[in-house]
Structure 1
Amino acid sequence: MSHEEWLQARVHGLGGSDASVVLGLNRYKTPFELWLEKTGQVTPQSSTSEAAYFGTLLEDLVAKEFEKRSGKKVRKRNAMFQHPEHEFILANIDRFIVGEKAILECKTASAFLAKEWEGDDIPEAYIVQMQHYLGVLGPEYKKGYFAVLIGGQKFVWKEIERDDELIEMIFAAEIDFWNNHVLANQPPALDGSSAAEQFLKERYKETDPNKVVQLGSSCKSKIEEYQSLKETIAQLEEQAKAIENELKHELKDAEIGYAGNYEVQWKPRVSNRVDTKMLKEKFPDIYKQVLKTSTARYFSIKTLA
């Protein structure tokens, strides 16, 4: 299929990269954000970021390097595979190993993530992705391989065996997510993502000033936890600011300083902003012309006597 057809198919099913999100193992996306995408409420995150762009560009190079180092041959199939019983469970395989019932996933990773690939380690999100693919292809596919270019200068490849128990857990979670959240149009648990915040802003934009509700029985403990977290955050921010001030004192009038492999900067930055107070005083008519009124709901908690 074409790239556009592939993008469209992704919206109507769960692929390997979605598996770790459904299981709550993805550091970049939450189940709530995924639900918004799959229900068409937001546009799926674009694959046009520089990291994604170069990952795609280097895929063929990584595959060829795998062939050279492993002695195995690979081939590409431009197709989207479906689970035989659940058509919304999809797999887009990078490469198939010739002469083996095995597949290859090509990855590029930042040098900062090198530790995740040390020794026998494989990031858990990628383990889940691989097992998802092996599950879709069927029980005859017994293993997969990862080929990874790290920081543009280090290459590793690893073998991973099929794990039927994990595959069963992955598919159970995906079936539940698709049937009970996507098809039922019921959001999963709200989280702290900006997508969840925006969803609530849009969903409950209109308010009833005369309406008062009695919150659920669990809300009192949530409020106490919320206030405790806010206090902890304030304390941590104060500690961080104290360390920042100590480092600034060490820099004095220098703009750059070094400590081990760290570079510390305290540079002047020029910014131009409109002084709204002065604009209002000196040019009140212009101020009124450019004044923009907006309404936003303000959240607060106060303790009653």
Structure 2
Amino acid sequence: MRANRNQWLATRDTGIGASDIAAVLGISPRDSPFSYYWRRQLGTAVEQTEAMEWGLRHERTIADKFAENHPEYVVKPGGLYRHPEHRWMLATPDLLLHSVNPDHTDALAQIKTTRSWDGWGDPGTN
């Protein structure tokens, strides 16, 4: 599993994805365009924290529960996708959601876990 993750991270480093774009635009609370640029130039990876590790460990369980709670979708694992024309543009959704109702739109899902409610807003406001 670790080898696959390292290969995925190396491929992700060949473009700009959703995790990067806030830093590129200067709106990230954790990263600046300058630090992002130099991290990419030097080839230094973001060190995985314990919280990040636990988030990855729980991802499959959360995806399974989402699928159980949403029978209106056929839930499939996501992956790493590259725009056919703008090769620098990447997307790495966690899940692909195919609607069983042809009148509804397919969707993507990104799974996130948190250890606190800080910064997530009041219930029902999202």
Q: Tell whether the structures are fold-level matches, with TM greater than 0.5.
A: yes
The residue that corresponds to 1:22 in the other structure is 24
Higher helix share: 1
Q: Offset of 1:42 from its aligned partner? A: 5.0
Q: Offset of 1:74 from its aligned partner? A: 0.8
Aligned length: 118
Question: Following superposition of structure 1 onto structure 2, how do residues 108-123 of structure 1 map, counting pairs within 5 Å?
Answer: 108-113=113-118, 115-116=120-121, 118-121=123-126
Q: Does 1:74 align with 2:75?
A: yes
Distance 1:116 1:21, change over 3 A: farther
CA distance in 2, matches of 1:73, 1:65: 13
TM-score for both structures, normalised by structure 2: 0.80
Say whether the 8 Å CA contact 1:11–1:37 is kept in structure 2. no
Q: Residues 84-142 of structure 1: CA distance to partner in whole angstroms, max 9, x if unpaired?
A: 22111111120101235211111101214264363233xxxxxxxxxxxxxxxxxxxxx
- RMSD of aligned Cα (Å): 2.1
Q: Does 1:50 align with 2:50?
A: yes
The residue that corresponds to 1:94 in the other structure is 94
Question: Which consecutive unaligned segments of at least 5 residues does structure 1 have?
Answer: 122-305
Following superposition, which runs of at least 4 residues in structure 1 exceed 6 angstroms of deviation?
A: none
TM-score for both structures, normalised by structure 1: 0.36
Q: Is the partner of 2:7 in helix, strand or coil?
A: helix
Distance 1:90 1:113, change over 3 A: same
Q: Offset of 1:28 from its aligned partner? A: 1.2
Q: Residues 5-40 of structure 1: CA distance to partner in whole angstroms, max 9, x if unpaired?
A: 21112222111101111222211111111101222x
Q: Which amino acid aligns with 1:108?
A: T
Q: Is the partner of 2:111 in helix, strand or coil?
A: strand
Say whether the 8 Å CA contact 2:12–2:80 is kept in structure 1. no
Question: Following superposition of structure 1 onto structure 2, how do residues 1-305 of structure 1 map, counting pairs within 5 Å?
Answer: 2-39=4-41, 41=42, 43-46=44-47, 48-71=48-71, 72-77=73-78, 79-99=79-99, 100-113=105-118, 115-116=120-121, 118-121=123-126
The residue that corresponds to 1:277 in the other structure is none
Q: Offset of 1:44 from its aligned partner? A: 1.7
Question: Which consecutive unaligned segments of at least 5 residues does structure 2 have?
Answer: 100-104
